[in-house]
Amino acid sequence: MSELSSRRVLTDASRLIIEAAVRAGANVFVGYPITPANWLYHYATQRFPTTLPATDEITTLQWMAGFATAGKFPVTATSFPGFALMVESVNMAYMMELPMLIVLVQRLGPSTGSATTGAQGDLLLLRGVISGGYPLPVFSPSNFEDCWELTGRAVAASLQMRTPVVLLTSKEMVMTSRSFDLSRLPDIQQAAWPEYRSANGYLPYRAKPAEPPPFLPVGNRQHQVRINASTHDASGLIRKATPEALANTRRLQEKIEAGMQKHMLFDYHAAPGSDTLLVTYGVTAEAARDAIRRLREHGRAISLLVVKTLLPFPPEALAILRRYARVLIAEENLSGLLRELIYGQMTPASVLGVNKIGKLISPEDIVAGYEKLSSMPSNPNSEAQGGKRS
């Protein structure tokens, strides 16, 4: 980028997220006050063509779903206490196949916890939030550029797959200002629904395998549209578990698995000769970048994997993990949610978590974790040790 075209400003990431969402085609924001998502709401009132203040969290999601059936793209921003109340309605939108973006700004829990303290405590909630374990796409920005790009990506993916999508971030990302060169930001294309164009008869849930059905808004004069949150057939009518209705429900999983293949995002920096991989996501990635640099300055080679598509978890990221004899996973929670997402209850001895609450994980924390991990046994089955990919 030339000096001439640089545009250095001080900005916070809430501004980037809202601007990106609108440029990607989002046009309705339904908000209600909740810390630390308030700046997003504030910017939305200035930028969205339509912003409505909802009375509560359930109303928020219901209004959003209504807007979506009419062909709008709705966005809201919340934190755990609000998201918890939205869960049934998120399931509704998932079943109805309605696109929308929920920006989930993590803060310290449990419960109302500490509203102005950051955290990374909600990953596994999102993994299990759709009853039945169906995948809900979750993107997690690891820096300001990601806040821009992943928001645009999230809106596009949401429309493309007709599904709610979550942008998982933290107080420390969206309420921090930085000097930032806006001219570094790539253009965002406006995304659109998979629209129905045929003149033939329309069935609202008739879809190709592993795809969402083409969309028509309710109220159109050409074709009857039925939208349904209960188990339903291709016509959108409620059906008890008939083979056709169950096939429709199965398609919900299949369309996300297929549709997300082109959205499997992560940054991988392989340090030559390293047998240790540092894995992280979200705001902790910033500390990881500093830690990696510090370790390199001391002659310690360590590779870095910053995961940006958290759900569904990228298979390629798993393949990278298998290459390493030692894995360090840094995240701002106590129990290691990403670690559990990857390894379940069977974390190998060669995997160590760097965990903390109430404060950002620091580069020093990660360096200390690395020192500890280096003294631990490595994984004899990893590809780095000559083991085979399972």
Partner 1 sequence: MSTKTTNLLTDMKMPFCPGCGYHLSTRVLARAIEKAGIHPLDVVVVSDIGCCGLIDGLLRAHTVHGLHGRAAALAFGIAHGLADASKKVIAIQGDGGATIGLQHLLEAARRNVDMTLLVHNNMVYGMTGGQVSGLSPEPVKDRKMPDEKDIPPFDVVELARAAGAAYSGRIIERGDYTDVLVEAIQTPGFSLLEIVGPCPAHGIGKIKDIAGMALQDVTYRSDREPHVAPRRETHSLFSQLRSVKVDFQANLQGRFSLIVAGSAGEGVQSAADLLANAGVASGLHATKKGDYPVTVGTGFSIAEVILSSEEIHHTGIEQPDMAIIVSEDGLSMMKNRLTDTRILLDAALSWPDAPGSVASLPFRKTAGGKGAALCAIAHWLRQENLLPVEALQQAAAQHKLADRFLGIIEKAKTLAGS
Q: Shortest gap between Cβ of 376 and partner 1 (angstroms)?
A: 25
Q: Which CB, 25 or 259, lies closer to partner 1?
A: 25
Q: Candidates 178-186, 264-272, 343-351, 379-387: pick the segment binding partner 1 (CB under 8 A).
A: 178-186
Q: Which two tokens stand for residue 293?
A: 């640099």
Restricting to residues 86-105, which ones interact with partner 1 according to CB under 8 A?
88-89, 92, 96
Q: Candidates 15-23, 255-263, 303-311, 336-344: pick the segment binding partner 1 (CB under 8 A).
A: 15-23
Q: Which CB, 226 or 300, lies closer to partner 1?
A: 226
Report CA-CA distances (Å) from 346 to 139, 257, 377: 25, 25, 16
Q: Shortest gap between Cβ of 19 and partner 1 (angstroms)?
A: 5
Q: Which CB, 148 or 313, lies closer to partner 1?
A: 148
Name residues whose C-beta falls within 8 Å of residue 42's C-beta, 6 or more positions apart in sequence: 14
Q: Which CB, 122 or 172, lies closer to partner 1?
A: 172
Q: Which CB, 217 or 348, lies closer to partner 1?
A: 217
Buried b or exposed e, range 219-241, using 16+ CB within 10 angstroms:
eeeeeebebbbeebbbebeebee
Number of residues binding to partner 1, judged by CB under 8 A: 77
Residue with tokens 């083409």, as numbered in its chain: 214
Residue from 84, 182, 301, 357 touching partner 1 (CB under 8 A): that is 182
Restricting to residues 107-136, which ones interact with partner 1 according to CB under 8 A?
115-116
Residue from 28, 75, 104, 317 touching partner 1 (CB under 8 A): that is 28
Q: Is the dihedral of CA 313, 319, 322, 327 positive or negative?
A: negative
Residue from 41, 63, 139, 205 touching partner 1 (CB under 8 A): that is 63
Restricting to residues 198-227, which ones interact with partner 1 according to CB under 8 A?
217-227
Under the binding rule (CB under 8 A), the answer on residue 80 touching partner 1 is no
Q: Shortest gap between Cβ of 332 and partner 1 (angstroms)?
A: 10
Give the separation between CA 354 and CA 349, rounded to whole angstroms. Answer: 14
Q: Which CB, 142 or 160, lies closer to partner 1?
A: 142
Q: Shortest gap between Cβ of 257 and partner 1 (angstroms)?
A: 26
Restricting to residues 268-287, which ones interact with partner 1 according to CB under 8 A?
286-287
Buried b or exposed e, range 278-314, using 16+ CB within 10 angstroms:
bbbbbbbbbbbbebbeebeeeebebbbbbbbbbbbbb
Under the binding rule (CB under 8 A), the answer on residue 192 touching partner 1 is no
Restricting to residues 300-339, which ones interact with partner 1 according to CB under 8 A?
none
Residue 120 backbone phi and psi in degrees, to 5: -130, 75
Q: Is the dihedral of CA 306, 312, 318, 320 positive or negative?
A: negative
Restricting to residues 351-370, which ones interact with partner 1 according to CB under 8 A?
359-360, 362-364
Q: Is the dihedral of CA 360, 364, 370, 372 positive or negative?
A: negative
Rama region for 173: left / alpha / beta (φ>0; ψ in -120 to 50; rest): alpha
Q: Tell me how long the chain is.
A: 390
Exposure of 275 by Cβ count < 10 A (0-12 exposed, 13-18 middle, 19+ buried)? Answer: buried
Q: Which CB, 235 or 381, lies closer to partner 1?
A: 235
Q: Which CB, 289 or 323, lies closer to partner 1?
A: 289
* Whether the Cβ atoms of residue 278 and residue 266 lie closer than 8 Å to each other: no
Residue from 2, 5, 111, 179 touching partner 1 (CB under 8 A): that is 179
* Contact map string, positions 33 to 52, toward partner 1, x by CB under 8 A: --x-------x--xxxxxxx
Give the separation between CA 115 and CA 176, rounded to whole angstroms. Answer: 15
Q: Candidates 154-162, 177-185, 265-273, 296-304: pick the segment binding partner 1 (CB under 8 A).
A: 177-185
Q: Shortest gap between Cβ of 180 and partner 1 (angstroms)?
A: 9
Under the binding rule (CB under 8 A), the answer on residue 230 touching partner 1 is yes
Give the separation between CA 377 and CA 241, rounded to whole angstroms. Answer: 50
